[in-house]
Amino acid sequence: MNQALFLRRRSKVHVPMGTGGATRAQVASAVREVTAFRCVLSEPLIEQIGLLSATELKYWLREIVGVLRRETGAHVHHRPFYPDFPEQVLTASEAELYLNAVRHYLTLRRLPPTDHPRPAMLEGNFISRVIEPGSISEFESLLEPLVSSRTSLSEEETADVVWFIRNYKSDVFRLLPETVPFREIRAQVGGALILHVAGDARVDAFLERNVETATDVLRLAVALTGGDVSLTTASTRFTAMKRSMRRLLLRLLDHIPNAAEDVMRHAERWKRLAEVLHPGDYADKYPRALAAITAARRNEAPDSFGSRVETLLAQRHIATLTPILQGHPGEFARRLDATLRRATEPESVLDAFEAVATQVSSPVLLQLLAQVRAPRPLPLRAFTPKGAFAKIYGIKDRREPLAHDVLTRAARICEGALVTRFASLPPLGRCFIDPALREYRVPLAQRASSKSLRTLVRGSRLPMPDTRFIRLFLWWKNGRERTDIDLSAAFFDANFVFKQTVAYYNLKGFGGYHSGDIVDAPEGASEFIDLDLDVLVEKGVRYIVTSINSFTQQPYCDLPECFAGWMARVDVASGEVFEPRSVFDRIDIASNTGICLPFVMDLQERRMIWADLGLTSVPRWNNVQNNLSGVSLMLRALVHTPRPDLETLFDLHVRARGERVTSPQQAQAVFAPDQGITPFDTDLIRSQFL
Q: Does residue 346 or residue 110 have the better pLDDT? A: 346
Average pLDDT of the segment spanning 93-104: 86
Cα dihedral sign for 620, 622, 626, 631? positive
Radius of gyration of the chain (CA): 27
What value does the mean pLDDT of the chain take? 90
- Does residue 368 have a pLDDT over 60? yes
Of the CA atoms within 13 Å of residue 467, those in its CB half-sphere come to 26
Listing DSSP states for 292-359 in one string gives HHHHHHTT-PPPPHHHHHHHHHHHT-HHHHHHHHHTSHHHHHHTHHHHHHH-S-HHHHHHHHHHHGGG
**Mean pLDDT, rounded, for 159-164:** 97
Percent of the chain with pLDDT over 70: 93
Question: What local confidence, expressed as pLDDT, does residue 28 receive?
Answer: 96
Measured CA distances, 185 to 152, 248, 458, 684 (Å): 7, 19, 20, 15
Q: Does 616 score more than 60 pLDDT? A: yes
What per-residue confidence (pLDDT) applies to 16?
94
Tell me which architecture the domain covering 461-640 has in CATH.
Answer: Sandwich (2.60)
pLDDT of residue 265: 85
Burial of 262 (0-12, 13-18, 19+ CB in 10 A): buried
- pLDDT-based confidence at residue 665 (cuts at 50, 70, 90): very high
Residue extents of the structural domains in the chain: 3-72+122-136, 137-297, 319-422, 429-443+644-688, 461-640
CB 453 within 8 A of CB 67: no
- pLDDT of residue 197 exceeding 90: yes
CA pair distance 33, 197, nearest whole angstrom: 40
Asked whether the predicted pLDDT for residue 618 surpasses 70, the reply is no
Q: What is the pLDDT of residue 168?
A: 97
Residue 307: what pLDDT?
78
Higher pLDDT, 594 or 448: 594
- State mean pLDDT over 606-619: 79
CA distances (Å), origin 537, targets 93, 165, 240: 25, 51, 60
pLDDT at 150 over 70: yes
pLDDT value for 124: 67
Query: How do residues 378-415 score in pLDDT, each as one tens digit?
Result: 888 877 766 555 566 777 888 889 999 999 999 999 99
Q: What is the mean pLDDT of residues 15-21?
A: 92
Q: pLDDT: is 118 or 439 the higher one?
A: 439
Does 61 have pLDDT greater than 90? yes
- Range from 110-124, 157-171, 265-279, 309-323 carrying the lowest mean pLDDT: 110-124
541-596 pLDDT, tens per residue? 999 999 999 998 888 989 999 999 999 998 888 888 999 999 999 999 988 888 89
Tell me what pLDDT residue 628 has: 62
Q: For residues 265 and 512, what is the distance between their CA atoms, to the nearest angstrom?
A: 51
For the ranges 117-126, 341-350, 453-462, 586-595, the lowest mean pLDDT is seen at 117-126
DSSP 3-state assignment of 148? coil
Q: State whether residue 498 is helix, strand or coil.
A: strand
For residue 342, name the pLDDT band (cuts at 50, 70, 90).
very high
pLDDT-derived band at 537 (thresholds 50, 70, 90) equals very high
Torsion 98-101-103-106 (CA) sign: negative
- Which strand (E) or helix (H) includes residue 607? strand 607-615
The model's confidence at residue 120, banded by pLDDT at 50, 70 and 90, is confident
Which stretch of 89-103, 244-258, 351-365, 424-438 has the lowest confidence by average pLDDT? 89-103
Backbone φ/ψ region at 108: left (φ over 0), alpha (ψ -120 to 50), beta? left
- pLDDT surpasses 70 at 528: yes
Range in 121-135, 203-217, 498-512 with the lowest mean pLDDT = 121-135
Tell which residue, 118, 157, 152, has the closest CA to residue 9: 157
Cα separation, 127 vs 463, whole angstroms? 12
